Chain A
Amino acid sequence: MMNRLIDRLLLICLRAYPRTHRERDGEVLLSLAHELHAGGSSPWREGAGLVRGGVAERLRLRCRGLVGAPWRAALARLALPLAAVSLAVWVAGVGSVDPVPTPRALVPLSDAALPAVWIWLFARFAGPAGTEVGSLLVAALFVLAAFVVIWCALRRRHDPVGATLSAIVLAIAAPAGVVLLPSLLPYDGAWDGVGIAALVAAGVLAPIACAALVGCGSAGSTSV
C-alpha cells in the first residue's frame, strides 16, 4: 500500500518534466528515484527533487527558445509601421504643449516619437545589428521619457496618479513590448501576425498615454 502511494507520488512529480523528457528518460528517472528512496532518501525529498528538476528543465527549454527566436526579423518588419504611428501621435500631441523654455519643453520628448522615427528608420535599413542598437535606444528613450513624465507631473502636481500610471506604461510596457515581446513569442511564422499586432499595440499605447498626459498637463498649466 505504502509503496503504491510512493509510486503514485513520484509519478505525479515526474509530470513536472516536459513530455519529451518523460518519454525519453522517465523510466530511468523513476527507477533512480526509487533506488535512492530504497537507499534511505525520503520520498518527499525525491518528489520535491523531481518537481524542481522538471521546472528547471522547462525553464531551460523556454530560455533556449527565447534565444533562438528570430526577433530581429520581427523588429525589422515592425520598424516602419511603428515609426509611422509614432510620428502621427507626436504630430497630434505636440500641438497641445506650449513651446516654452521650461522643463515642460522636455515633455515632447516624453512621446519618444520623433527620435523613435529616426531610430526605427535607421534600424529598418541598417540590418540586424542596427535593429538591435535601435531597439535599445528606443527602450532607453522610453525609460527616460517615463522619468521626465514623473518629474513634470509630480512637480506641477497634475494628476500624479495618472502620470504615474502612464509612466509605468512607458517604463515597462513600451520597452518590453518593443524589445522583448518578439523574443517571448514562439516565432515559427504562424505567430508573425499576432506578434506584430502585439508590438504595434505596445508601441502605440505608450505614446498615446503620454500624449494624453501631456494634454492634461498643458490644460492644467493654463488654468493655473
Chain B
Amino acid sequence: MAAPVLREPTYFILAALLDGPLHGYAVAQSARELSGGAVDPTAGTLYGALDRLVGQGLVEVDREEIVSGRRRRYHRLSDRGREVLVDEAARLRAAAEVVQRRAAGVNPSPSLPLQRKARLA
C-alpha cells in the first residue's frame, strides 16, 4: 500500500501524537505549538483528520474518558503512522537541503530521496 501524502495539518497532528496517546484538545494544542501557530484546527477539522487517519491505519483509538462531564477520546500513533511520519520528515529534510545547497552555491546531489512514493510503493 502506497504511503499517503501528508498535508501540513496532518503532519503536525501525527507529530503531536509522537508523545503518546492524547485527547482531541491536547492534539489541537500540541499541533498549534509544534507548527508555531500555522496549524490551528477547529473541532470539525481535527475530527475529520483523525477519522481519516484512523481509516488509513496511521492512528488508532486508544480509549475514551469522561472528564468534568465531557467525553474525551484518546488517539495514539500506529506503527505505520510513525513510519510514514518519519519518512515524511526525511523527505522534507532532503527537500530543504536541496534549496539550502543551491542557495549556498553548492551543486545539488542528483539522487536525493525525494521520490518517497516510489520508494514505499
Contacts and interface: CB of A to CB of B under 8 A. Distances in A.
Interface residues of A, number: 24
Contact of B71 (A31, A33, A51, A53): A31
Nearest to A29: B47
B44 A49 contact: yes
B91 interface: no
Most chain B CB within a 10 A radius of its CB, from A25, A28, A39, A56: A28
A27 interface: yes
A46 B48 contact: no
A15 interface: no
B60 to A, nearest CB: 15
Given A39-B29, A45-B42, A48-B42, A32 B48 contact: no
Contacts of B28: 32, 36, 39
Interface of B is mostly: helix
Contacts, number: 68
A29 B28 CA distance: 13
Contacts of B51: 25, 57
Nearest to A56: B48
Nearest to A42: B42
A46 B42 CA distance: 6
A192 to B, nearest CB: 30
A150 B61 CA distance: 58
B116 to A, nearest CB: 25
Contacts of B64: 28
A50 B73 contact: no
A54 interface: yes
Given A49-B43, A49-B45, A51-B44, 16 more contacts: A28-B64, A29-B47, A31-B70, A31-B71, A32-B47, A34-B70, A35-B70, A39-B28, A46-B43, A48-B42, A48-B44, A49-B44, A50-B43, A50-B44, A52-B44, A56-B48
Interface of B: 24-25, 28-29, 40-48, 51, 64, 70-73
